[in-house]
Structure 1
Amino acid sequence: MNLSFNETELEVLRLAAGREGMSPASWAGRQVMAVAQEVLVPVSRDAGEVLRELVAARVHLRETVVALRALTPAGTPDTGLPQAVAAVLEEALGAVARVDAATCAVMRERRPRS
């Protein structure tokens, strides 16, 4: 079986393979088999865009949580945060959980959204 990619696609393939310490051909073959065995379900372009947005939102929310937790004084028995900041932290944690759940739901989707 022959596969062809443009330069941009090939660079993405090389990066993905490199992250897992594999050759591009081995990595692509593993992905093809995963799709064939329905272990990996490809998503539509629309779903891919939604996933990218969800991942970006998740990263931003996680950074917000880290920044809020950095406000916690070290060594205090409770959170040490003012009540308003603790409430914002809890809201951010809830938002992260909701974005995680939405991301998983989109990844399981098999049909285009449009």
Structure 2
Amino acid sequence: MNLSFNDAELEVVRLAAEREGMSPGSWAGRQVMAVAQHLLVPVSRDAGDVLRELVQARVHLRETVTALRALTATGASGDGVPEPAATVVEEALKAVARVDAATVQVMRERRPRS
């Protein structure tokens, strides 16, 4: 079986697999089996839209952190990142962590079984 993901989807799969100490392929296979066995119910369409937004926001935040680190590395006076820039990088990293947590929460949403 072949699975195909766009970059944002693959990032979600990679992070979920990493969190559980698995390869992305093994993690995806386990999820497919869980859905097939009705142990896992996929998220609703609305939740999927929210998840896509969260993934895009996460990717943008990561790119922002990378750009900030590059700027602060070139602007430092030899003794590390300037304090205001270090604070901005830390706040951006906290924002990434919040988006990650929100993404995981949406991924765990289950439709009620009837």
Q: In which range does the TM-score fall when normalised by the shorter chain?
A: 0.5 to 0.7
Q: Distance in 2 between matches of 1:43 and 1:95?
A: 24
Q: Percent identity?
A: 68
Distance 1:38 1:70, change over 3 A: farther
Structure 2: how far apart are the matches of 1:83 and 1:96? 20
* Residue 81 to residue 38, structure 1, CA distance change in 2 (3 Å): farther
CA distance in 2, matches of 1:53, 1:15: 19
Matches of 1:77 and 1:39 in 2, distance apart? 55
Give TM-score scaled by structure 1 length. Answer: 0.62
| Aligned-partner Cα distance in 2 for 1:69–1:106 | 29
Give yes or no for contact 1:41–1:108 (8 Å, CA) kept in 2. Answer: no
State the shift of 1:83 in Å.
1.7
Q: 1:37: Cα distance to partner?
A: 3.3
Q: 1:107 to 1:82 in 2, by over 3 A?
A: same
Letter in 2 for 1:106: V
Provide the secondary structure at the position in 1 that maps to 2:47.
Answer: helix
Question: SS of the counterpart of 1:42?
Answer: coil
With over 3 angstroms needed to count, the CA separation of the structure-2 counterparts of 1:35 and 1:70, relative to structure 1, is same
Q: What does residue range 32-111 of structure 1 map to in structure 2 within 5 Å?
A: 33-38=33-38, 40-71=40-71, 72-73=73-74, 80-111=80-111
Greater Cα radius of gyration, structure 1 or 2? 1
Deviation at 1:39, TM superposition (A): 5.5
**1:63 Cα deviation from its structure 2 partner:** 0.2
CA-atom RMSD, angstroms?
3.4
Amino acid at match of 1:107: M
- Unmatched 5+ residue regions in structure 2? 11-23
Kindly state the Cα deviation for residue 84 of structure 1 after the two structures are TM-superposed: 1.5
Distance 1:39 1:97, change over 3 A: farther
